Amino acid sequence: MKELIRKLCEVYGPVGREGAVREVIRQEIEGVVDEVRVDAMGNLIATKRPTQDGAQPGKRIMLAAHMDEIGVMVSHVDEKGFLRVTPVGGVLAAAVLGTQAMFEDGTRGLFGIEGQILVRDKPELSKVFLDVGATSKEDQSLGIGDQAVFRTAFVDQGKRLLAPNFDDRIGCAVLVQVLREIKQTPNEIIAVFTVQEEVGVRGAKVSGFSVEPDLVIALDVTAAGDIPEVKVSPSALGAGPAIKVKDTFMLADLGVRRWLVRTAEAFDIPYQLEILELGGTDASAVQTSRAGVRAGAVSIPSRYVHQPSQMIDYDDVQNCVRLLVNALSEAVAV
């Protein structure tokens, strides 16, 4: 599965430009689902129909993971060829300085801040620029509307993995692997790889409306707090997938949460409960679509979320797959 994760993390796919990610995923799930379609917004919707009858009737279950990653968009090119940028998604100005960004054509640049050679003050994003080495405006091939994403290397250090965009390529990788490993299920599984989550869960709003699921589970990351001097640690690397209780935009359905907890305990899968004080997932958009949907989420704990390099634990990833495969292989009693 590590090769799948690496492949997804290395693909360019900022908000609104998810096509290359979608194509990789389409190739990876070929032959393991019954139907694949792309809607008007660009969501990839893959259906796995029921393969067996259970003691209880199966449900129509939507699993959502977003393909987009945060980045910046060029808003101005100055006379010296430096690029002024505007954020697309939750970019943290303090985290970007000196890091690499990559454009769709492969051009790479470094973030700098105006007026400072050695950065001493807390930066504002309005003063940040991208330097791609151009010598003048005429020498600059990039222009207004071009988008760049953070690009640090994917690193495999055994149990710990590093990449710039586990939010949410790791959720996409988990969802692909779940589709591969589910062999028998009484449920109809609709896997939706969504677009534009980072700017207001837009892809989930329309796909949730069209899919009309009985329940939805979002697959995303959550902020790990197991670092020095953090007084409250909502989740930790290596302690298992995090079953959501609440976040800024959603209270998880109690029945969905208990069903996931029961499954984890029945199969000796380590898990933790998640309360995320800042942020949300695609599940919040689906929860309030049409007449309402029972909603939950399972998260991979990640250190340094929305920063140019992030860290996760590979055991958490594998246990997340185990949790979902076992939960979805039987009729859902919620």
Q: What is the DSSP string of 47-71?
A: EE---S--SS---EEEEEEE--B-E
pLDDT for residue 86 is more than 90 = yes
Structure tokens at 105: 């054509």
192-208 average pLDDT score: 97
pLDDT for residue 149 is more than 80 = yes
Give the range among 44-58, 161-175, 233-247, 313-327 with minimum mean pLDDT.
44-58
Q: Where are the domains of the chain?
A: 2-69+165-328, 71-150
Task: Tell me the fold of 2-69+165-328.
Answer: Aminopeptidase (3.40.630)
Task: Write the pLDDT tens digit of every residue in 43-72.
Answer: 999 999 998 765 567 899 999 999 999 999
Predicted pLDDT at 54 = 59
Q: Which residues pair with 77 in a beta bridge?
A: 83
pLDDT for residue 73 is more than 90 = yes
Question: Do the domains at 2-69+165-328 and 71-150 have one common CATH topology?
Answer: no
Predicted pLDDT at 281 = 96
Mean pLDDT of the chain: 93
Helix 2-9 vs helix 19-29: crossing angle, to nearest 10: 160
What CA–CA distance (Å, rounded) separates 114 from 100?
Answer: 17
Residues marked active site are found at 197
247-255 average pLDDT score: 96
207-230 average pLDDT score: 93
Structure tokens at 98: 């000196």
1.20.1250.20, 3.40.50.2000, 2.40.100.10, 2.40.30.40: CATH of 71-150: 2.40.30.40
